[in-house]
Amino acid sequence: MRQKRGMAPDTPISDTLATEVRRIFAETLRLRIEDVSLDARLDQPHLGIDSLMLIKLNVALEEAFDIALPDFTTPEASTVRSVRDVVALVSEKVASGPNGGAR
């Protein structure tokens, strides 16, 4: 268990969850999982993420974890900049229960 800087200390993030998020990134973007580091930024050119890819990532993560996420492309989610931020957000939504965070 590791903790992400800036998150509430009682919200641990499992390696399993981080790996699963990276796997979904890799699958959606057609990359190898090794190419999706936690520090990779969503706007980093080598990831090749356009707005459709962001939406596909959103949906794939919601589907995999049974959660609702804010759109990564809207101001509501402006703090989501890196893969690590996505992991933190998913972890937070998963912690708030099944279909957690659904509006």
Footprint of another protein (CB under 8 A): 50-53, 55-56, 58-60, 62-63, 66, 68, 71, 73-74, 99, 102-103
Nearer to another protein, 12 or 70 (CB): 70
Shortest distance, CB of residue 56 to another protein, whole angstroms?
6
Nearer to another protein, 9 or 98 (CB): 98
Residue 67 neighbours by CB under 8 Å, 6+ apart: 61, 90, 93, 94, 99, 100, 101, 102
Nearer to another protein, 33 or 59 (CB): 59
| Contact criterion met (CB below 8 Å) for 38 and 91 | no
Shortest distance, CB of residue 63 to another protein, whole angstroms?
6
Return d(Cα 85, Cα 40) in angstroms, integer: 10
Which structure tokens are listed for 14?
A: 């499992």
